[in-house]
Amino acid sequence: MVKLVDLYKSFGEQTVLNGINLEIPRGKLTFIMGRSGTGKSVLLKHIIGLLKPDRGQILIDGQDVTHLSEKEWQRLRRKFGFLFQEGALFDSMTVAENVAFPLIEHTKLSKKEIQRKVEEKLSQVGLLEARNKYPAELSGGMKKRAALARALALEPEIILFDEPTTGLDPMLQVATMKLIRKTQQQYGLTGVVVTHDVPIALMAADYIAFLNEGRVVAEGTPEEIKKSEHPFVREFLKSAFEGCYPEEGRDVQEKHGD
Amino acid sequence: MLNFLSYLGRVGLDFISQAGGMALLFLTTLVYTFRPPFRLRLFFKQMEFVGVNSLLVVVLTALFSGMVMAFQGYHALSKFGGESLLGGLVALSLVRELGPVLTSLMVTARAGSAMAAELGSMRVTEQIDALEVMAVNPVHYLVVPRFWAAVIMVPLLTIIADLVGIAGGYLVGVMLLNVDAGIFIRKMQEMVEWLDLSSGIYKAFVFGGLLSIIGCYKGYNASGGAEGVGRATTEAVVIASVSILVGDYILTSLLF
Ligand SMILES: Nc1ncnc2c1ncn2[C@@H]1O[C@H](COP(=O)(O)OP(=O)(O)OP(=O)(O)O)[C@@H](O)[C@H]1O
Ligand SMILES: [Mg+2]
């Protein structure tokens, strides 16, 4: 279980995390939502120790990890999978080598077993034919799916997904979300998904937290979120559905600008 | 005036922090060298990269330097009738100075810059973060093989450069300027001592370490997208070249 206590982080003048408090339940799929640029990726990078908070605590299984040494982090990180928003695939390696990388580094599997596992993961994300391509030869959506396969390769205890479905076509979005859901349930792992996609979140989440201006402004099950009275949440949900109900959405759009 | 002073202060602080960062990276690299797993495949790949990438340009540079030196040396020596010393002069300057320095400068331009560019682009596209997230130490994975590849390949390339340069000197001295071949060789054997040769190789070791640590440090700490990678690469080449020349002076005054 991951618990964030009173987390603050600024870059120069700009305060990005302004007192985050959030408990991420074990064995559930938690969604973190919010507008572009509110600090969702920054928050995720704090959980895995790529960024250090100015103030506050991050507890993982009750252990405060804010002051861990690099070596202790390295041990802890074997529990984690992380999907970068931009994929962060190694561009000197093929797709298959990318997915094999964590297996080669952290397991004692034979070459054959690794190859079998890589092919299994790649076929789950529908990239088996592209396994010998280099990242530069992939489309944006294919990169994302390759990175997803890599993040899932070790079947870690906690997986953090930074916008796993953004940039995919609608069919792939649903398929990807189903894959995440299925993997999560199969291994009972703790998942954190960052997204701005409201329908996907309402469909797949066990728990949703809304981020705005550096704080968690609302959290709860999808049902609770749908009923939320919080003005930001209401506006966010309403804009998301404006495509389906154009008349209702228009005034929101005018107020919002982007 | 105050502006200028604060500018100087900033430049000074920046210099100290960068030098400190490089020293730290060097020490970390040494420590991680002895920590398993030993990534021999990456190490050989880097050796091939450093060696193959730089071989042609090192050979060309050495060949023409040796040839030019034979001309210039002949010109100077003939003023007091000392043409017979030409072989010794060419060989000595090559093994002691020009071999290691020119080789290191060329390797900096080819491989040191590539190290900065490669690590820099890995940094700005979060590939280095991805290594960390997958519990693989980036210094262990990226810097250790590059460092040792350069430390080993630069001396080897230096030996090649010495030989090729001497051959170039021989070509010009004996074929063009009609110095007696036997005398050219004999003077060379008389004047070049084992210590001359080894001091050149020592230098090459140090320069190989310098250029790889500087290249890796600049790439590892790059920021700001493609422009940042470009800046890191340029700075790596400039800083490494200057460090090699300054280091050469210091080593020369220490070794002799
Ligand atoms: N390394 C950094 N240095 C300076 N500012 C940063 C850095 N990383 C993020 N920021 C700033 O922090 C803010 C939050 O960025 P973040 O990437 O977390 O947004 P996000 O919520 O993930 O947005 P999106 O949904 O578009 O991905 C942005 O305003 C960004 O400019
Ligand atoms: Mg983001």
A30 belongs to a structural domain: yes
- Cβ atoms B110, B53 nearer than 8 A: yes
B229 belongs to a structural domain: yes
B18 belongs to a structural domain: no
Note whether B126 contacts A: Cβ–Cβ < 8 A. Answer: yes
Note whether A82 contacts B: Cβ–Cβ < 8 A. Answer: yes
Residue A243 is predicted with a pLDDT of: 61
Does the pLDDT at position A242 exceed 80?
A: no
Residue A96 is predicted with a pLDDT of: 94
A205 belongs to a structural domain: yes
Task: Work out how many domains chain B is built from and give that number.
Answer: 1
The predicted-structure confidence for A1-48, as pLDDT tens digits, reads as follows 888 999 999 998 999 999 899 999 888 999 999 888 899 999 999 999
What distance in Å separates the CA atoms of residue A229 and residue A219, rounded to the nearest whole number? 12
Q: How far is CA A187 from CA A145, A153, A226, B202, B205, in A?
A: 20, 12, 28, 56, 51
Does the pLDDT at position A251 exceed 60?
A: no
Helix (H/G/I), strand (E/B), else coil: A244:
coil
What are the respective helix, strand and coil percentages of chain A, to the nearest 5? 45, 25, 30
- Torsions phi, psi of A39, nearest 5? 115, 25
The predicted-structure confidence for A172-206, as pLDDT tens digits, reads as follows 888 888 888 888 888 888 999 998 888 888 888 89
**Tokens, residue B186:** 């004999």
Cα B28 off chain centre by: 21
What distance in Å separates the CA atoms of residue B109 and residue B117, rounded to the nearest whole number? 12
First and final CA of chain A: distance in angstroms?
35
**Tokens, residue A100:** 């094999």
Residue A256 is predicted with a pLDDT of: 47
Q: How close, in Å, is residue A213 to chain B by CA atoms? A: 25
Note the ligand closest to the C-alpha atom of A34.
1
Query: Could you please report the per-residue DSSP string of A189-200?
Result: -EEEEEE--HHH
Residue with tokens 């949900």: A237
B91 belongs to a structural domain: yes
B194 belongs to a structural domain: yes
Confidence of residue A244 (pLDDT cuts 50, 70, 90): low
- Torsions phi, psi of A209, nearest 5? -120, 135
The predicted-structure confidence for A147-159, as pLDDT tens digits, reads as follows 999 998 888 889 9
A135 belongs to a structural domain: no
Q: Which residues pair with A63 in a beta bridge?
A: A60
Please, how many CA atoms are within 13 Å of residue B126, restricted to the half-sphere of its CB? 16
Does the pLDDT at position A97 exceed 80?
A: yes
Of the residues A20, A33, A40, which should be mutated to test ligand 1's pocket, given the most ligand atoms within 8 Å of the CB? A40
A19 belongs to a structural domain: yes
B26 belongs to a structural domain: no
Task: Work out how many domains chain A is built from and give that number.
Answer: 1
Q: Which residue of B has its CA nearest to A51?
A: B129
B138 belongs to a structural domain: yes
Confidence of residue A245 (pLDDT cuts 50, 70, 90): low
- For A178, the domain range is 2-89+157-227
Under DSSP, the state recorded for A136 is G
**Tokens, residue A104:** 């080669």
A249 belongs to a structural domain: no
Give the CATH number of the domain where residue A171 resides: 3.40.50.300
Low-confidence ranges of chain B (pLDDT < 70): 256
Q: Which residue of B has its CA nearest to A50?
A: B129
Q: Specify the higher pLDDT residue, A252 or B23.
A: B23
Write out chain B in H/E/C secondary structure: CHHHHHHHHHHHHHHHHHHHHHHHHHHHHHHHHCCCCCCHHHHHHHHHHHHHHHHHHHHHHHHHHHHHHHHHHHHHHHHHCCHHHHHHHHHHHHHHHHHHHHHHHHHHHHHHHHHHHHHHHHHHCCHHHHHHHCCCCHHHHHHHHHHHHHHHHHHHHHHHHHHHHHHHHHHHHHHHCCCCHHHHHHHHHHHCCHHHHHHHHHHHHHHHHHHHHHHHHHHHCCCCHHHHHHHHHHHHHHHHHHHHHHHHHHHHHHHC
B224 belongs to a structural domain: yes
Residue A95 is predicted with a pLDDT of: 95
**Tokens, residue A155:** 């079947």
The predicted-structure confidence for A71-90, as pLDDT tens digits, reads as follows 888 888 888 999 999 889 99
A250 CB-contact burial (10 Å; exposed 0-12 / middle 13-18 / buried 19+): exposed
Q: What angle do CA B232, B234, B240 make, to 5 degrees?
A: 95
Q: Which residues pair with A3 in a beta bridge?
A: A23, A59
- For B113, the domain range is 39-255
Note the ligand closest to the C-alpha atom of B224.
1
Does the pLDDT at position A252 exceed 60?
A: no
Please, how many CA atoms are within 13 Å of residue B246, restricted to the half-sphere of its CB? 8
Q: How close, in Å, is residue B226 to chain A by CA atoms? A: 15
Does the pLDDT at position A253 exceed 60?
A: no
Note whether B135 contacts A: Cβ–Cβ < 8 A. Answer: yes
* Whole-prediction pTM: 0.89
A117 belongs to a structural domain: no
Residue B82 is predicted with a pLDDT of: 81
Q: In what order do the strands lie in the sheet with A55-60?
A: A14-24, A2-11, A55-60, A63-64
